A and B are shown apart, each in its own frame.
Chain A
């Protein structure tokens, strides 16, 4: 049981480039989330999904896109990377519902630098 996995661990992008951050969970969780963490700050929600085919914006969605074609995968797409997107990105998932208290399991994070 690997939990939540993210690839890559590190990436350096040039301004204007695009990339996809991969996230996979093997716990059959319906709910998945993408957060970003800027230096010395708490995490902020970018996008989330409550099930395959359903996605919605979080606090800071500009410059990002997501898709959820399967229960397991929730990739985050960065189009036209900007220095403001330099951050650590975390993917998380939860079973959802009162029994789980929406307790989220986090991946190890991806450190992205845009120069």
Chain B
């Protein structure tokens, strides 16, 4: 079965500093997509960043960037210049099948940004 693993249940970072959240996945697919979602206390699922597996270049979105290591099946999220509003649960997810879009989620990492 395909799996997504986030090995850091909780992390904290000082405001304005940089933090990296880890994620590893296991898939037998050749074409797949990877995502990081943010879930604040409101519980709304908010897309942070996405990566297409066929693209070698790491995705970036403003203060958010990923380190995508396809051979190692690793997909970490780096948050630069952390802000108080970044405090949330972060989920890594992978499409289980390339033509249905079904997502397999990790267990989540709770990130607290401290003032």
Query: Do A and B originate from a single complex?
Result: yes
Q: Is the interface of B mostly helix, strand, loop or mixed?
A: strand
C-beta contact mask, B32-43 vs A, less than 8 Å → 1, else 0?
010100000001
| Chain B neighbourhood of A106, CB < 8 A | 44-45
Q: How large is the interface on B (under 10, 10 to 19, 20 to 34, 35 or more residues)?
A: 20 to 34
Q: Given A33, A50, A92, A109, which contacts B43 in the complex, CB threshold below 8 Å?
A: A109
| A42 in complex: contacting residue of B44, B47, B50, B106, CB < 8 Å | B106
Interface string of A77-115 (1 = CB under 8 A from B): 000000000001010101010100111101011000000
Docked-complex contact B52 and A101, CB < 8 angstroms: yes
Interfacial residues, chain A to chain B (CB-CB below 8 A): 31, 33, 35, 40-45, 48, 50, 56, 58, 88, 90, 92, 94, 96, 98, 101-104, 106, 108-109
7 contacting pairs across A/B (C-beta < 8 A): A33-B101, A40-B108, A41-B108, A96-B101, A98-B52, A102-B95, A102-B101
